């Protein structure tokens, strides 16, 4: 396509005037969707090209897919800011860029103090023709054996160190935030099992409930 025309040249960076931001290969950008009711598309800039006069700037992108755009659709463990790095490449006019954004690794996303509008995370690559993910396995937690969704509060068992969703252990969100020591059903001792919900065993009050998960 345009790439093959000798008159075009590659730019190291380009300032998108209507948003006053400079983009470079490797940056992640938000792009205007064809359907304005949809959220912005997210893409990684691979290459920036212009014609010999530096105009008609085209951006070679690699698309990120949102979970609902994948063949399997959005699943319960997908975070609201989750994206999949697809194998879908494209060339777009620089005019469609609406802003810059950051696509974090899963680990760095879970360490953010605050998640801004322009913060996303990616833990899977996605094959747009087969619907396959890479990696195809991730660690699972809780009785429900689900991968971690960073939007969800979880409590950690002090016995086995597994993490649990409050709803899976008959705990309210409020209880989960305030629980001091939690032992899951399997780790509870016999006398604790007499209590209907063993988690409320008010032993000591110094453990913390973390919204994070075990790291692998």
What does the binding site for Zn ion look like in residue numbers (CB under 5 A)?
A: 142, 144, 157, 159-160, 165, 168, 184, 187
Residue 129 phi/psi, 5-degree rounding, is -90, -35
Burial pattern 163-188, b for ≥16 Cβ within 10 A else e, equals: bbbbeebebeeebbeebbbbbbeeeb
Report the residue number, 132 or 138, with the smaller CB distance to Zn ion: 138
Report the residue number, 61 or 154, with the smaller CB distance to Zn ion: 154
Residue 109 CB, shortest distance to Zn ion, in Å, is 20
Burial class (CB in 10 A: 0-12, 13-18, 19+), 112: middle
SS3 193: helix
Report the residue number, 9 or 177, with the smaller CB distance to Zn ion: 177
Report the residue number, 96 or 188, with the smaller CB distance to Zn ion: 188
Residue 110 CB, shortest distance to Zn ion, in Å, is 17
| C-alpha to C-alpha distance for 118 and 21, rounded to whole angstroms | 14
Chain position carrying tokens 């948003």 = 19
Asked if omega into 135 is within 30° of 0 (cis), the reply is yes
Residue 147 CB, shortest distance to Zn ion, in Å, is 11
Report the residue number, 139 or 160, with the smaller CB distance to Zn ion: 160
């Amino acid at each position: 396509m345009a790439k093959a025309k000798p008159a075009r040249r590659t730019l190291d960076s380009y300032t998108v005037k209507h948003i006053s931001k400079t983009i470079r290969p490797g940056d992640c950008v938000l792009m205007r969707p064809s359907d304005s009711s949809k959220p912005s598309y997210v893409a990684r800039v691979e290459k920036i090209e212009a014609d010999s006069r530096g105009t008609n700037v085209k951006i070679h992108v690699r698309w990120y897919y949102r979970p609902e755009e994948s063949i399997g659709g959005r699943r319960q463990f997908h975070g609201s800011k989750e994206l999949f790095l697809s194998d879908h490449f494209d060339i777009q006019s620089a005019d469609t860029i609406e802003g810059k954004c950051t696509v974090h690794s899963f680990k760095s996303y879970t360490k953010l103090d605050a998640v801004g509008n322009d913060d996303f995370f990616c833990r899977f690559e996605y094959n747009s023709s087969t619907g396959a993910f890479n990696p195809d396995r991730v660690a699972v937690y809780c009785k429900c054996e689900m991968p971690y969704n960073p939007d969800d509060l979880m409590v950690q068992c002090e016995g086995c160190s597994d993490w649990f969703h409050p709803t899976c252990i008959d705990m309210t969100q409020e209880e989960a935030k305030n629980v001091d020591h939690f032992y899951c059903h399997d780790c509870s001792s016999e006398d604790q099992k007499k209590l209907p919900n063993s988690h409320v065993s008010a032993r000591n009050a110094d453990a913390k409930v973390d919204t994070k998960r075990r790291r692998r």
